[in-house]
Amino acid sequence: MGVPELLLDTVLDRAVVGYSRLGYAVRRRTWAADDPAPDALRGRVALVTGESSGLGEATATGLARLGAEVVLVVRDLGRGEQALARVRAQVPAAKVRTARCDVSDFASVREFAARESRVDVLVHNAGVLPPERRESVDGHEITFATHVLGPLLLTELLRPALRAAEDGRVIFVSSGGMYTQRLAVDDAEYRTGTYRGATAYARTKRMQVELTPVLAERWRPDGIAVHSTHPGWADTPGLADSLPAFRRLVGPALRTAAEGADTAVWLAATRPGPPPGRFWHDRRARPAHLLPGTRPPAGDPERLLRDCLAAVGR
């Protein structure tokens, strides 16, 4: 990327226009046509959570196009089978199957992990934006359980399989909304203050981004690379259900689900692998903080990880 393109990219990012389909259209012109290579994931197994529609389905489709054997990890097998049919309709030769797992439920996570002996790529895409505070079956606030605790437990349980893989990769699909939040290490369960689902969502997406470099160090000795990314403003069923007013406001500027999923697919497939521990958008590492006052005190991400590991029994 030349200096003019780099400056334009930075301006788009800071102006938030980069989150729109315009930002994607401008940036993709600077990408190599053969990156990732057409068969970059041939022979590799990719697990994608939150698979039944939207970004998860688009991510699965992109991975399948690159030759991966894809496991659609879903809570609802019926909806998962419908997503599987749509993936196969777009990629007729796709090797794809469904598997049930509720990532907010630790018992479900353990049962699922015990059945999976092979994984090269793990994409944590499952998400929830509740209208009111509720807890998982294990007693944790539901966005915290779904976005942070469950993915952490699943990765820890699949660590031997990822270690055995050549170039194992773990990808957290975060959100640009996390830029508005500080790391809530002292109230990770959102027990104080007025509960707002959108805030809970953004807080736990901030946790994913802050934990990414810490987890990259934790899993680096096993040869496992950890990344986080955000999709920009993508038009998905989840957005329509959770933030209908926002969708009406910016509808024409929204990306397609495939455009939103592009960087997650790229992180899974590009060779050599990108530097681990970073936060990505449109195939470029981005700052984790844009607003004043959101940077956590030294040691807080590590403290959050210790608390999370204790919560999941690790």
Q: What local confidence, expressed as pLDDT, does residue 6 receive?
A: 58
- 188 three-state secondary structure: coil
Give 40's Cβ-side CA count (13 Å radius): 21
The residues carrying an active-site annotation are: 201
What domains lie within the chain, and their CATH numbers? 31-311 (3.40.50.720)
Per-residue pLDDT of the chain (314 residues), as tens digits, is 565 555 555 655 666 778 888 888 999 999 999 999 999 999 999 999 996 668 999 999 999 999 999 999 999 999 999 999 999 999 999 999 999 999 999 999 999 999 999 999 999 999 999 999 999 999 999 999 999 999 999 999 999 999 999 899 999 999 999 999 999 999 999 999 999 999 999 999 999 999 999 999 999 999 999 999 999 887 655 555 555 655 555 656 788 999 999 999 999 999 999 999 999 999 999 999 999 899 999 999 999 999 999 999 98
DSSP 296-309: PPTTHHHHHHHHHH
Distance separating alpha carbons of residues 184 and 19, to the nearest angstrom: 25
Torsion sign across C-alpha atoms 146, 311, 276, 74 = negative
Distance separating alpha carbons of residues 213 and 31, to the nearest angstrom: 25
Asked if residues 246 and 238 have their Cβ atoms less than 8 Å apart, the reply is no
Task: Indicate the pTM of the whole model.
Answer: 0.92
**Token match 């990108």: residue?**
274
Q: Strands 279-281, 224-229: parallel, antiparallel or unpaired by DSSP?
A: parallel
* Residue 76 per-residue DSSP state: -
State the amino acid at position 9 in one-letter form.
D
Torsion sign across C-alpha atoms 69, 75, 81, 85 = negative
Distance separating alpha carbons of residues 182 and 228, to the nearest angstrom: 17
What six digits make up the tokens of 212? 């990414």
